[in-house]
Structure 1
Amino acid sequence: MKMKPLGRTGIEVSELCLGTMTFGTQTPEAEAHAQMEMARDHGINFFDAAEMYPVNPISAETVGRTEEIVGNWFEKTGRRDEVVMATKHSGAGFKHARDGAPISAKTIPEAIEGSLRRLKTDVIDLYQFHWPNRGSYMFRQNWAFDPSQQDRAATLAHMEEALEALQAQVEKGNIRAFGLSNESAWGTAEWLRIAGEKGGPRVASIQNEYSLLCRLYDTDLAELSVNEDVGLLAFSPLAAGLLTGKYQHGRVPDGSRMSIVENLGGRKSARVFDAVDAYLAIAQTHGIDPIHMAMAFTLQRPFMCSSIFGATRIEQLEHLLKCTEVTLSDEVMKDINDAHRAHPMPY
């Protein structure tokens, strides 16, 4: 398993990261613990969670359960020191945490204390803001994105306040590093600028969606990542399962994400299945498993820190782990880029 630097923190993380968002709903605790064991035994030292998890569905009754399941594994196995643990602070609008309050100097310590307690740990290695207070173009909001109503002064004041609060948590030993999620190039650049000028933890990473079907990161954010050492933590590298091919021709396997979330968070569209067909054809032509091709594509991007995947069942995890043995040739990459031009934004 290749290791990558987490920004300029000095922390090294595996190129694959175990996502845990189904732990507690689709994935029961015993299965989740088996997945963590297998992931760690195969060299994955990076786990990602969030205070709002699990999903599929999200409910008041289950919020925080994923962190509890991970914490129970740490307590049971004593392997906490082997893992770089990332989690996230939910922000404005999430009604199941702090009545939907935005991220602030007041909510940051409260949220961190809750995550520390559920994870049964003394420190969070990477603490991320799940989405910006001002909103985001992620999750299909890019089609009507309009930043003209943002209050720039309020946004910058919030960033200063939040960085000061985060620094206090660093000094207390509660967190080691800070990351963003569902962020833009401008937002990330401002977090970096303010930390450089006024202090606070420097942004180490950005967790945004990225896959063969979602390549919004390829331009401005890619340039920022490379030049500022702020690597991408790609979520949904298999496009919520679309790139496995299991949903082609109207199929909806029992227990799959589509059986619970019919539109896959807006990813299901009239055009997406033609795009998936194009990538499946490339994999077949070159004799590559489509899951391994999709994952290997993310790992070979120049701005990638770690690719976050989720597996409902341990058999899926076992299969996916073989992607690290795959290197995509220039010919395969050319075919992928040709398919991307033909199907540039399928959802």
Structure 2
Amino acid sequence: MKKHQLGKTDLTVSRVCLGTMTFGEQNTEADAHSQLDYALERGINFIDTAEMYPVPPQAGTQGTTERFVGTWLHKRGKRDDIVLATKAAGPNPNQTWIRGGRQNLDAVNIRAALEDSLRRLQTDYVDLYQLHWPSRNVPIFGANSFDPAKERAAVPIEDTLAVLDELVKEGKIRHVGVSNESPWGVCEYVKQSETKGLPRIATIQNLYNLSARAFETTLLDEVCYREGVSLLAYSPLAFGQLSAKYIDDPKAHGRLTIYPPTWSPRYLRPAVLDATREYAALARANGLTPAQMALAWCYSRWFVASTIIGATSLAQLKENIDAEQVTLPDAVVAGIDAIHARYTNPGQ
């Protein structure tokens, strides 16, 4: 499997990353360990998790995903064989079970979050520590326009980087990254790191799939190229929507049917469904499954360092990994861009 360097770091990761947010919700501990074993056998050396997982987030399961990864690491003894990434939650007063609903990206919170993650993961360091979403007001998770009326008090980026700097020096973190960030946020992180001698962000983990290409249309691709920040693309199948299984069978078992529509409404928008029908037809007309085409497209993008995949079965995981070997013909790529021109970022 091809590997890419993360930012300006010494970390080299497989261009397919195993996402784990189903561990502890849709997947048992045994399932999780089987997926981790299989991913490693297939050449994946990059594992991504978060203190908030599994999803949908809830008090009774929070932290279970990291615990499952931790028991696998303890049992298999493969810590040196993987690049391990996790994330600290930003502010969300509705998640009262995470540090009393007062979680943020200040020194007290980040230290508490990291220590808890290290304990659950049964390791003394993480290779990549990411900020799951910003402290400041910024549109994320389906919101797609900035609203100044929603401004709130926020932890200065310099303060966040300062505590991360301490944790790097203590050996608990090797490198840092951001997630669900904007072009302004990336530029501000880079500026603060360069002017204050603080850790430089290596990665940005943002939504990117056929129905959500804002990474390009907002010119985040140029920002990250010029600043040496690598994209980790999440949700490449739009919670399974781009596999077309819900188009083929609206009652198909999966995240978009077993959880309330309010959990992920963006992938149920009429324009997303219309676009998915066209992408599925294009894939099938060219001898591909819709999932193969959607994933192969992500894997091949020049600015994607690694694509984070998730699965609830080994069969799904195999198909998702196998798509890494698919090369899309120029005519298929042109067809994708034509559909994108008609349905521009309906799932953003």
Q: TM-score, normalised by structure 1?
A: 0.95
Does structure 1 retain, via aligned residues, the 8 Å contact 2:137–2:150?
A: no
| TM alignment of 1:1-347, pairs within 5 A | 1-55=1-55, 57-93=56-92, 94-101=95-102, 102-142=104-144, 144-147=145-148, 150=151, 158-219=156-217, 220-248=219-247, 251-263=250-262, 265-266=264-265, 267-347=267-347
Deviation at 1:258, TM superposition (A): 2.4
Task: Sort the Cα spacing of 1:228 and 1:148 in 2 relative to 1 into closer, same or farther, 3 A.
Answer: farther
- Distance in 2 (CA, whole Å) between partners of 1:301 and 1:95 is 38
Supply the distance in 2 between the matched residues of 1:200 and 1:178 (Cα, whole angstroms): 11
Rounded to whole Å, the distance in 2 between the matches of 1:61 and 1:272 is 32
One-letter amino acid of the structure 2 residue matched with residue 246 of structure 1? K
AA aligned opposite 2:253: D
Q: How many residues align?
A: 342
Shift of 1:109: 1.1
The alpha-carbon distance between structure 1 residues 327 and 255, as it changes in their structure 2 partners (threshold 3 A), is: closer
CA positional deviation for 1:254: 3.1
The 3-state SS of whatever aligns with 1:141 is coil
Using the TM superposition, give the Cα deviation of residue 271 of structure 1 relative to its aligned residue in structure 2, in angstroms: 2.0
The SS at the match of 2:127 is strand
Residues 316-338 of structure 1 show CA distances to partners (whole Å, capped at 9, x for unaligned) of 10121111110112211110000
Give distance in 1, aligned partners of 2:206 and 2:290. Answer: 22
**In structure 2, what is the Cα distance between the partners aligned to 1:332 and 1:263?**
33
Q: Deviations over 1:9-28 (max 9, x none)?
A: 11001100000001001001
Q: Which moved more, 1:85-94 or 1:66-75?
A: 85-94
Residue identity in the other structure for 2:160: A
Q: Secondary structure at the match of 1:271?
A: helix
Matched residue of 1:167: which SS?
helix
Runs of 5+ unmatched residues, structure 2: none
Question: Aligned partners of 1:231, 1:288: CA distance in 2, in Å?
Answer: 28
Output the CA distance in 2 between the equivalents of 1:338 and 1:277: 14
Report the secondary structure of 2:345's partner residue. Answer: coil
Per-residue CA deviations over 1:38-63 (Å, capped at 9, x if unaligned) read 001100000000001011x3211111
- Looking at structure 1, the residues matched to 34 and 326 of structure 2 have their Cα atoms a distance apart, in angstroms, of 25
Give, in whole Å, the separation in 1 of the partners of 2:81 and 2:96.
34
The amino acid across from 2:243 in the alignment is: T
DSSP 3-state at the match of 1:240 = coil
The gaps in structure 1 that reach 5 residues or longer are none
Deviation at 1:257?
A: 4.0
Q: Is the 2:239–2:255 Cα contact (8 Å) retained in structure 1?
A: no
For 2:133, the aligned partner's letter is: W
Distance in 2 between residues matched to 1:263 and 1:285, nearest whole Å: 33
Tell me how far apart the structure 1 counterparts of residues 341 and 28 of structure 2 sit (CA, whole Å).
40
The alignment partner of 2:178 has SS state of: strand
The secondary structure found in structure 1 opposite 2:327 is coil
Pick closer, same or farther for the CA change 1:27–1:292 going to 2, 3 Å: same
Structure 1 position 149, deviation (Å): 5.6
Instruction: Please state whether the residue corresponding to 1:74 is helix, strand or coil.
Output: helix
**Identical-pair percentage:** 44
Give the whole-Å Cα distance in 1 for the aligned partners of 2:291 and 2:334. Answer: 18
- How far the C-alpha of 1:138 sits from its partner, in A, is 2.1
User: Normalization by structure 2: what TM-score?
Assistant: 0.94
Letter in 2 for 1:316: Q
User: Following superposition, which runs of at least 4 residues in structure 1 exceed 6 angstroms of deviation?
Assistant: none
- 2:140 counterpart SS class: coil
Larger displacement relative to structure 2 (315-324 or 14-23): 315-324
Contact persistence 1:26–1:255 (CA under 8 A)? no
Shift of 1:289: 2.1
Give the conservation status (yes or no) of the 8 Å contact 2:231–2:304.
Answer: yes
SS in 2 for 1:213: coil
Residue type of the partner of 2:101? G
| Mapped partners of 1:187, 1:89: distance in 2 | 17
The CA distance in 1 between the partners of 2:97 and 2:198, in whole Å, is 28
Q: Alpha-carbon deviation of 1:100?
A: 2.3
